[in-house]
Structures are given as C-alpha cells and as structure tokens.
C-alpha cells in the first residue's frame, strides 16, 4: 500500500509552488546575533504567560496572531483566519525532496542550520516538506483519512487550518542520502541526533517529542522542526522545557474538541 506520508509530499510538489511562487525571493542571511527579524505582532496575547523569573518576556510577541513567529498552533488552537497564508514566503536554497518554501527568516535559519550540521559532522540534510497552504492541507488530510480512517488520521496529520506547516515556519527534514524519511528512526540517524541537540542554536524547536503526545496531540516526530526564533528557542533550551504548550502555560491539546 502506498506510504501516505510520501503521497502527501508528492502532492505538495504539485501544488505548493502555485500558491507561493509569486512571493518567493532569494533568502537573506541570518543577522549577526541570530535574532529573527520576522515581522510579528508586538501586541501581547491575552493567553500568554508572564515573564520568566530570569527576565525573559513571554508576552513579547503574540501566540495567537498567525503572522507571529511565536504563534502556537495545535488541535485546540486553529489559525485565525483558518485559511491564513504568510506574505513573506521564499524558496529555501537547500537540498529538497519536495519544494522548499518557508517564511523568510525561517529560511535563512534553515540554510545556516544545514550548513552547520554538515560542517560539524552530522552529514547532509534535505527538506522533505515545508509550507503547505490551506487547500493543500485539505488534500493531505483527506488522503490520510482515506488511507487510515479519521481517528488514526488525526494522530498522523493536522486538520486543515490546524497545521504548523500552514504558518510557513515548520519543516520536515530527512537525511541525505534518503533514509528513515518521516519515520521515528530518523531520531537515531546522525542528522536526527544532531538536530535534537543543536536546532535551538538556529531558532528551531523539535516540536513533537517522544514523551509529549498527551500535550502536543501528536506522536513522536523527530523530523518535524518549528522555527520560533533564537531568543525563544534559547530560553526553552535553558529552562529545559520541550513544548510551547508547557512554556506558555497553555492546556494540553491531545485531541480536537469535535
């Protein structure tokens, strides 16, 4: 039976470029201190947690605004509007199995991260899947439902409007040469191990850890990384917090309300 994940990636190849090509432009290099320059709402979210004891301002950016680099998307927190599309998408100049399209600052950070991984002995990496528009996610999710049924599909794929990929800030990463693609064994590859230990340096978070399914709502996905910017990623790393839900004091999101 065809692998639903590979089918989903092939679908992105056919559709995502149509929705993002007009917005694509050469990616910028990361700025010197690694601080993201993504335009995000500076209005604190009403649901954002207070400042950390060490002085980190957890309300510096919105966790509700879909354009914010800190937006939290899960099974209880759909994007608003649900058909949101980023305005600063670019083509990421890295190896890719499917079109590599992300928001500008996420792209620059990914380029730097891939280069560092190779230089530090982790090996080469490629983008397996990145930005997916609302219409593309409709078809990806429906493909899972057709293959596995709705209950199991909800454990494997986000519903349209609830996907981090729709923000343009999430990426699925695979090794080069291709092995353990979109599979738990990616976490034991040199690339997967290096990313788990070092992605925070580039503003990325391993979004769905193995022991946090009851909080994030998703099974272990060692290949799925979310760009949140260097300051926030560093704070999570320093505090030893693994999920955005826990850091911002949000309720667990193991399932949809309906």
Number of helices (H), then strands (E), in the chain: 8, 6
For each of the chain's 258 residues, which pLDDT tens digit applies?
A: 444 454 444 444 444 433 333 333 333 333 333 343 433 333 333 344 555 666 899 999 999 999 999 999 999 999 999 999 999 999 999 999 999 999 999 999 999 999 999 999 999 999 999 999 999 999 999 999 999 999 888 888 899 999 999 999 999 999 999 999 999 999 999 999 999 999 999 999 999 999 999 999 999 999 999 999 999 999 999 999 999 999 999 999 999 998
∠ CA(119), CA(123), CA(127), 5° rounding? 105
DSSP summary character for residue 170: E
- Give the fold, CATH level 3, of 4-247: Muramoyl-pentapeptide Carboxypeptidase; domain 2 (3.30.1380)
Taking the mean position of all CA atoms in its chain, how far away is CA 158? 12
Q: What is the rounded distance in angstroms from the CA atom of residue 19 to the CA atom of residue 16?
A: 5
pLDDT tens digits, residue range 4-30? 454 444 444 444 433 333 333 333 333
Q: Kindly give, in sequence order, each residue whose CB lies less than 8 Å from that of residue 184, ignoring residues fewer than 6 positions away.
A: 220, 222
Q: Which residue has the tokens 């560093």?
A: 234
User: Considering only CA atoms, which of 1, 4, 29 is closest in space to residue 109?
Assistant: 29
Q: What is the rounded distance in angstroms from the CA atom of residue 174 to the CA atom of residue 170?
A: 14
- pLDDT computed for residue 55 by the predictor: 86
| Domain coordinates in residue numbering, the chain | 4-247
Q: Is the dihedral of CA 134, 184, 115, 235 positive or negative?
A: positive
User: Considering only CA atoms, which of 204, 178, 174 is closest in space to residue 191?
Assistant: 174
- 204-208 and 221-227 as β-strands: parallel, antiparallel, unpaired? antiparallel
148 in Cβ contact with 197 (< 8 Å): no
Q: With H, G, I as helix, E, B as strand and everything else as coil, classify residue 185.
A: helix
Predicted TM-score of the model (pTM): 0.82
Q: What is the rounded distance in angstroms from the CA atom of residue 81 to the CA atom of residue 83?
A: 5
- pLDDT computed for residue 15 by the predictor: 43
- pLDDT computed for residue 51 by the predictor: 59
Torsion angle, alpha carbons of 232, 25, 91, 156, to 10 = 60
- pLDDT computed for residue 5 by the predictor: 53
The neighbouring-strand residues paired with 176 are 124
224 in Cβ contact with 183 (< 8 Å): no
């Amino acid at each position: 039976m065809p692998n639903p994940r590979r089918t989903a990636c092939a679908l992105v190849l056919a559709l995502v470029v149509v929705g993002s090509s007009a917005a694509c432009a050469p990616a910028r290099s990361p700025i010197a201190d690694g601080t993201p320059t993504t335009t995000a709402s500076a209005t604190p979210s009403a649901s954002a947690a207070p400042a950390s004891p060490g002085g980190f301002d957890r309300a510096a950016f919105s966790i509700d605004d879909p354009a914010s680099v800190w937006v939290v998307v899960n099974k209880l927190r759909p994007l608003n509007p649900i058909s949101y599309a980023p305005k600063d998408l670019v083509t990421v100049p890295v190896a890719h199995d499917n079109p590599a399209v992300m928001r500008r600052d996420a792209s620059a950070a990914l380029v730097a991260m891939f280069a560092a991984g190779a230089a530090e002995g982790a090996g080469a990496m490629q983008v397996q899947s990145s930005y997916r528009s609302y219409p593309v996610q409709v078809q990806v999710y429906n493909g899972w439902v057709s293959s596995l049924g709705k209950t199991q599909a909800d454990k494997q794929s986000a519903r349209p409007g609830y996907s981090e990929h729709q923000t343009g800030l999430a990426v699925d990463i695979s090794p080069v040469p291709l092995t353990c693609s979109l599979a738990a064994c990616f976490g034991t590859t040199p690339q997967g191990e290096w990313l788990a230990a070092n992605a925070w340096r580039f503003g990325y978070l391993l979004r769905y850890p193995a022991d946090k399914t009851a909080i994030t709502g998703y099974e272990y996905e060692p290949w799925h990384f979310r760009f949140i910017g260097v300051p926030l990623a560093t704070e999570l790393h320093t505090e030893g917090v693994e999920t955005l839900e826990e850091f911002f004091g949000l309720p667990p999101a193991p399932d949809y309300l309906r």
